[in-house]
Amino acid sequence: MSLIKLNRRRFPWLSDGVPSWLDADEFLSDDFFLKERNIPAMNVKENENNFEIELAVPGFSKNEIEVVLEDDLLKVSAQKSEKKEDTEEGYNRKEFSYNEFERKLQLPKSVDPKEKVKAVYNNGILKLNLLKKKDAKKILKKVIEID
């Protein structure tokens, strides 16, 4: 038996209007129900004492990026201070978009919202460091046996 990815062109009713429940990559996305995909790529690394989050946000200056931590929600957004008219012609396809974005992340309970979040922007990469609570225990790995 072989697995074949669903060809959406053969099934037009599964296009943009209706999400495909069979596409696991889309389903596991934190922005699953957003139609726009204008969000930066992200890496998250959990260490014993903190979380390190990296977002790829090229084309912005650090003054145009806003990072807000409210309760257990981290919101990273950016907007160009001035919009330029795109007068260049001749593109068949244009996917670069450095005008604005917004990404929201639900933080785990182990993050300490009272501690200072360190943010550094260098060469198009925004690095955030969120400290864990002192009493946050490391979750033990449990192996589940399959019947």
Domains in the chain: boundaries: 42-81+98-131
Torsion of CA 136, 140, 141, 145, to 10 degrees: -130
- C-alpha to C-alpha distance for 11 and 147, rounded to whole angstroms: 36
> What pTM, to 2 d.p., does this model score?
0.62
The CATH class of the 42-81+98-131 domain is mainly beta
**Mean pLDDT confidence for 39-55:** 91
Beta-bridge mates of residue 21: none
Polymer length in residues for the chain: 147
Q: 17 pairs with which residues across the strands?
A: none
pLDDT confidence of residue 26: 47
Give the tens place of pLDDT for each residue, 21-42.
Answer: 555 444 444 544 444 556 889 9
Query: Under 8 Å CB-to-CB from 85, ≥6 apart: which residues?
Result: none
